[in-house]
Structure 1
Amino acid sequence: MTLDHPLDRPVWNALTSSMKAFAIGDARAVRLDPACGVFLAAADDGPEARSAMTELARLYPGSGIVERAGGPMDGVLPDGAEVVGGYPCVQMVCSALTAGGGSAIDAEPLGEADAAEMLALATLTQPGPFRERTHALGGFFGVKRDGRLVAMAGRRMRVPGFSELSGVCVHPDHRGQGLAGALSRIVVSDILADGDQAFLHARAEAATTIRLYESLGFSVRIPISYTLLA
């Protein structure tokens, strides 16, 4: 299997292009700034890249690896790595939102002043890896009720032509109100307006989540493996 599409290796292609400012490493291996996230990738499965990947994993524990399932980089890990988690995912893409959109919501841009609340909400709801500076990746919108952040969605990985919808989460007390879908529409609309297509990663077994994104205009592109290291 060849890896010709930029989304076949989203972490490597993001951190060596559009997101270089958030990358640690060199031409052999790269790691997302640990204040922003967990992602790690090697250039290839050769000894030099593996050695650099191993060193980054040692320096920044808790790294996560995202690769196309069944691809040549699937299962390529740092030497001596201890796998502590992970799960099969699907990668979904969207080039146009579906018509409609449900009820309008009172969403607002989120930024530095909201960082603590964003981290707290993500820690509670676990939408995926979220760290104290993930908000710095930009493009986040949220809904507040009585001055408290109860839902949000934003962007994460960017490769030329594609931006990732991520960090979609809703406080348990405010679910069932369509907030996740409405916020996702806002973020995706901005991505499309910038001239990119949107993409995302969802757990393969999360049928309800996948149906939600399909209702917005996303379709499954490829299977993805996510591996979390100690």
Structure 2
Amino acid sequence: MLSISETTLRTLEASARPLFARRVQAALAEKYLHFLPRFPEPVQAAIVGNMLGRASRWGIYGQRALLAFCELMISVAANFDEQPDIRAVLQGQDGARDQVLTALPGLVSEAAWAEAERNATTLSFYVRPSMIEAGEAERTAAAILLVLHDRPEAASASATVEAAQALAGRLGLADIPDALLVLAACRSLYGQAFDESRLPWADGVFGAGLPPRAVVNALRLRLALDFARFV
């Protein structure tokens, strides 16, 4: 019987990764119309590369498991693997994570999945695996290059983040995940009217007594409705 070493298998998988990534991109774009199709093809490819890279950090290599990981990022939360119960299951299965990942929905409680959804962030779609542990500002600057790829802010991402930080502090959103990215997108796409709260829906978002996280999510929804922009 032919025996193939683990190192050889990993080498074969790595050589096949570009073709597989293109297949994943096509499959996810077809299934999740609200997400990848909102971006041009090169940005889609970068996002899929980030997603696959995040899965690979867990030692996930099988194609079925990689696709399942990407789907969980989209359908649950881009950072679903940070939820404590989910993380514990993955950490406790070193060497068998491909099999565990495909069975993960049945291995974790519904409460854990619900918590992952509540604490969802989209930044993980837009940053390289090497930046996962970076600070919020640094990751947001990297994310702007993809989310606002066609806007002037992409050429001055660091300055854009600084302006978003000042605005987040004024609005009481400084500690909310994704606030910097969402506010940067709002300032870019709505312009001065956003900074001055002159938009017709501004009172319904900022004056309705919503919790800070709900404000960020409401702004995210407005961006999707008004600009078909996934932020």
- Is the structural similarity TM-score above 0.5? no
> What is the TM-score when the length of structure 2 is the normalising length?
0.29
The structure with the greater share of residues assigned to helix is: 2
The structure with the greater share of residues assigned to strand is: 1
Larger CA Rg, structure 1 vs 2: 2
> What is the TM-score when the length of structure 1 is the normalising length?
0.30
